[in-house]
Chains A and B, each alone.
Chain A
Amino acid sequence: MFDWLQFFRPTPPFSGGVLLDMHKITDASPIADCPLPEVLIHPLKQHIGASCELLVSVGDHVFRGQKIGKSKGYVSAPVHAGTSGKVVRIEDHIVPHPSGLGMPCIFIEADGLDQSIEAKNSITDWINHAPSLLREQVRLAGITGLGGAGFPTYIKLLKDQRHPIHTVVLNGIECEPWLTHDHRLMIEHSDAIVEGLAILLHLVGSPRGVIAIEDNKPIAILAMQQAIDAYTSNAKNQAAIIMVVQSLPTRYPQGSEKQLIQAITGQEVPAGKLPMHTGVLCQNIASTEAIYRAIVQGKPLTERVITVSGDALPIPANLRVRLGTPMRFVFSHCGLRQWDGIQIVHGGPMMGERLKNAEAPVVKSTTGLLAMARNTLMAEHQGEEPCIRCGHCSEVCPIHLVPNMLADFTRQEQFDKAESYQLFDCIECGCCSHVCPSHIPLVHYFRYGKGQLAQIRKEKSFAEASRQRSEQRNSRIVQEKAAKAARRSRVRQQAKKILPPETKDDQP
């Protein structure tokens, strides 16, 4: 319906976007503990970056929180055992990825005792510790962005003199339909989140923290406000920091980092730059809670809160699940018995991935698990109709791209053209596909185009490198020849001086 009052309202916090059917049926269900399965499956790579190095072998006994995969390289995060037990297998297993391909995983058979490795380095007086030390603690705890992207968190926590952070934004937007885990976390663990925010402010040396929540979560807004009041009224906490809750009008994809920064600061993140270049650090609610646990309680990341929901699930719930729990176990716990005609979605319906089966484990980037009836989802074999150029896709694009033209270029394999129309700025939020009357799978085209372009770039840089190598070789040969000639003539000159002119035996 056309919004006739739009001309009288203040400009929306960010342009584009859509209003979705939210289906937040688990809004009021408290976080419950999911029981322990018999076997936990820990993939060695649950984050963006390098895969972990194996630290255990089959037959080893491990404790909960024991590091079993060591991070390799800068962009990486270690993996910890989810419970105490025996390593029974180390082999490839399906991970949450639409390809259905396997990845090396550690299988731990639970001994039922669930003994934790003794908590060390629990730092309650973190304010007296150097940020670098706390940052190392976050790194060792294996915390990654728990909002779904899975980028190692500690990297973002760098205190950089060139780009001082003026605002830390906690992302409590949760704009995906169905998902409510962040909402429940904010209500039930608001104190931990506020202290986590204080730790973040200390870590990056920022004076201001903003907790951004959409206005469809009034209870969470209230809870966070009370927690902030309680925290700042405590005399022992420093008063130099400001923490506020900011309520934002509901609109998808506000939870996207770039859109959130635009909504809060009015600034755009320049193309090719990071959010920290605008002086803003965005952090997920669940990650912040994990940071609090890692520093104040000394606990590595071994569990997370997920929403298990969907229109085909008998008992939807918000569950605190041990990482590595097989999805089938979680769904069974929520009463799913009938698997026919059900599509598992890992994450939310807008940006999550369809999985072929439920054998994969819950990993760090699992925000939610949805069991959807196939007929309520966009069909896999959607008859793509011709584009009628209605322009709805570019109206809703929060990046202001022209999706239908990009899709045309990709379809016609004009990848250079697609690149000049800024294909790489697409955040794959899915708004365009969501509103397309012709059911064109635009995001699918963009992913394909990006993949092809990356390949082309790689080949180009490879060709460029070989060209440079060959040029260098040629110039080196020329130089060597010249040097040789110069040396020879010098030797000859010297010989002329020393030897009488008639001895010419050494000439070639």
Chain B
Amino acid sequence: MIIHLSPPHQHGGDSIQASMLSVIFALLPASLCAVWLFGWLAVWQILTCIGVCMLSEWVAMRMMKRVSRLHDGSAALTGLLLALILPAATPWWMSIMGAVFAIILGKQVYGGLGYNPFNPALSARVILLISFPLAMTSWLIPAQAMPAGVDLYDISTTLALFFGGPEAMGQTLDAITMASPLGYVKDDARQGISVALSLQTHGYSYLDAFIGKETGSMGETSALALLIGGIILISRNTIRWHIPVSYLLTVAVLAAIFNTIDGDRFAPPLFHLLAGGLMLCAFFMATDPVSSPMGVKGHVVFGVGCGVLTWVIRTWGGYPEGAMFAVLLMNCAVPFIDHYFRPRVYGHQRKTP
């Protein structure tokens, strides 16, 4: 606690809590969409992740003998983000593990809020993906298309599914899950099937992908809900538009170029924009202030980097989805970007390196 008498004496009124709550508010459309698609299961996942994240934060702060910072909402936000990037069919213990990873390994080991080099929710998601590849790539069929006997809007059914897994319902994992569009396009491409044919055979529809009816993680499926959230964030000045716009534009431009060159092997730009975790990563993960660069120039460099990496991993990488890897990789480059893409200081010809 320092005594400071230096000006200014008036404060604008912004606070960490306000910006965290603003992001949580902007995630509401995506969360509601998740509840619409996956019923009570989404509610259990979200509550579990938020609860465990806040508990981990509290325990970690206690262990480090620091003042608890639960009120600022950053742990709750991490929990919500993590829940939204998990598949709906994730078993309860995996969600809990993810939440603990996110707070402890993703944030607190580095020194807590403001010091984490990586986005906590994304790093937890990647840890889970690498540890449990099957569970993390089994996408639950939305409630509207579920086979009979599994009602996601029924509390007891969803509790059984959440805690007991599909076996408790007398189902197999395969029966209630599907591959994601990115997944089957990639698999089909390995067998030499063109993108258009692959989409056609799986009954892919751009409108469904926009609204969110295609399979994916809980909060990632609806591009519409995420766009609304992104516009809320930008209009409330919580984030600036440069990262999401440069990110999405880069993916779209790359996809358009290669789709024009060879339409059979490379998916069209709209497919890329609507698929997987791109929208969520662009508006909510890449814009995480702590792990993203500062300044407009840095934002654009970061966004373009994320875009290139996402498209490259999706097209040539081993995983069907590359958005989260792209953001985490670009997180590594943030100190570098911050140093070399500083703005030119007033009155100086160019910045000194």
Chain A interface residues toward B at CB < 8 A: 1-2, 4, 18, 20-21, 98, 177, 258, 262, 268-273, 343, 345, 349-354, 372, 377-378, 380-392, 394-395, 398-402, 404-405, 420-422, 425, 428, 430, 433-439, 441, 443-444, 447
Chain A: CB-nearest residue to B10: A349
Chain B: CB-nearest residue to A425: B345
- A contact residues around B349 at 8 Å (CB): 270
Main secondary structure, interface of B, reads loop
Nearest 8 A/B pairs, CB to CB: A430-B8, A386-B114, A391-B294, A444-B6, A400-B343, A271-B347, A390-B289, A441-B4
Contact, CB under 8 Å: A443 / B8: yes
Chain B: CB-nearest residue to A4: B235
- Which of A343, A350, A351, A392 contacts B14, CB < 8 Å? A392
- A contact residues around B190 at 8 Å (CB): none
Contact, CB under 8 Å: B294 / A389: yes
Contact, CB under 8 Å: A353 / B7: yes
Q: Which of B8, B16, B342 gathers most chain A CB within 10 Å?
A: B8
Decide yes or no: A430 and B345 within 8 Å by CB, A390-B289, A436-B14 being known contacts.
Answer: no
Q: With an 8 A cutoff between CB atoms, is B202 at the interface?
A: no
- Which of B1, B8, B343 contacts A434, CB < 8 Å? B8
CA of A383 to CA of B302 in the docked complex: distance in angstroms? 32
Contact, CB under 8 Å: A441 / B6: yes
Contact, CB under 8 Å: B19 / A390: yes
Chain B interface residues toward A at CB < 8 A: 1-12, 14-16, 18-19, 69, 72, 112-115, 234-237, 240, 289-290, 292, 294-295, 338, 342-349, 352
Contact, CB under 8 Å: A425 / B347: yes
Contact, CB under 8 Å: B7 / A400: no
Chain B: CB-nearest residue to A392: B14
Contact, CB under 8 Å: A399 / B12: no
- B contact residues around A262 at 8 Å (CB): 346
Contact, CB under 8 Å: A377 / B10: yes
- Which of A98, A402, A439 contacts B11, CB < 8 Å? A439
- B contact residues around A388 at 8 Å (CB): 16, 19, 113-114, 289-290
Contact, CB under 8 Å: A402 / B7: no
CA of A405 to CA of B341 in the docked complex: distance in angstroms? 13
CA of A471 to CA of B348 in the docked complex: distance in angstroms? 36
Contact, CB under 8 Å: A372 / B9: yes
Contact, CB under 8 Å: B345 / A400: yes
Contact, CB under 8 Å: A402 / B295: yes
- Which of A390, A391, A400, A436 contacts B346, CB < 8 Å? A400
Contact, CB under 8 Å: A394 / B294: yes
- A contact residues around B345 at 8 Å (CB): 271, 399-401, 422, 425
Contact, CB under 8 Å: A382 / B4: yes
Q: Chain B's nearest CB lies how many Å from the CB of A420?
A: 6
CA of A360 to CA of B333 in the docked complex: distance in angstroms? 53
Contact, CB under 8 Å: A377 / B9: yes
Contact, CB under 8 Å: A437 / B8: no
Contact, CB under 8 Å: B8 / A269: no
- B contact residues around A391 at 8 Å (CB): 240, 289, 294-295
Chain B: CB-nearest residue to A431: B8
- B contact residues around A271 at 8 Å (CB): 345-348
Q: Which of B290, B345, B352 gathers most chain A CB within 10 Å?
A: B345
Contact, CB under 8 Å: A349 / B2: no
CA of A463 to CA of B7 in the docked complex: distance in angstroms? 34
Contact, CB under 8 Å: B235 / A98: no
10 contacts between A and B (CB under 8 A): A98-B5, A378-B8, A380-B4, A380-B5, A386-B115, A395-B295, A422-B352, A425-B346, A433-B7, A434-B8
Contact, CB under 8 Å: A383 / B1: yes
